């Protein structure tokens, strides 16, 4: 099984303000990027399943063709810095994407 972490050059996450998290998926080649984009591997259903999201928690999935990147933005269940938040910078939130099957 081939995973997204084997195809993407960079997968990272960070806060997009205190109430949202953004995940960036960047590719080294246009061919790899277009393959993932055109087969619609990263879609509302796959992201919802990976993160166990409720309706309205997925802000959007954005494709940046010029830089061969995909950006996924989610509503944070616990605001950054709030009691119970264990990842104040949102830097660990990309992990579920690493094992996403791209076959």
Each residue's pLDDT tens digit, 90-103:
999 999 999 999 98
**85 occurs within a structural domain:** yes
Residue 76 belongs to what domain range?
4-97
**69 occurs within a structural domain:** yes
What pLDDT sits at residue 8?
97
Q: Long-range contacts of range 26-33, CB-CB < 8 Å, 24 or more positions apart?
A: 26/67, 26/68, 26/69, 27/68, 27/69, 28/68, 29/68, 30/68, 32/7, 32/8, 32/68, 33/65, 33/68, 33/69, 33/70
For tokens 């996403």, the residue is 100
**57 occurs within a structural domain:** yes
The CATH number covering residue 77 comes to 3.30.70
Q: Count how many domains the chain has.
A: 1
What pLDDT sits at residue 1?
85
**Mean pLDDT per 10-residue section of the chain, whose length is 103 residues:** 95 96 97 97 96 94 97 94 91 96 93
Do residues 68 and 29 lie in contact, with contact meaning Cβ atoms separated by under 8 Å? Answer: yes
């Amino acid at each position: 099984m081939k995973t997204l972490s084997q195809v993407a050059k960079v997968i990272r996450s960070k806060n997009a303000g205190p109430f949202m998290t953004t995940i960036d998926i960047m590719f080294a080649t246009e061919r790899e990027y277009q393959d993932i984009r055109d087969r619609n591997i990263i879609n509302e259903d796959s992201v919802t399943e990976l993160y166990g999201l409720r309706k309205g928690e997925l802000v959007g999935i954005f494709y940046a063709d010029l830089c061969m990147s995909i950006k996924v933005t989610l509503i944070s269940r616990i605001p950054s810095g709030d009691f119970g938040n264990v990842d104040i910078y949102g830097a660990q939130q990309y992990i579920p994407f690493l094992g996403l099957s791209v076959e």
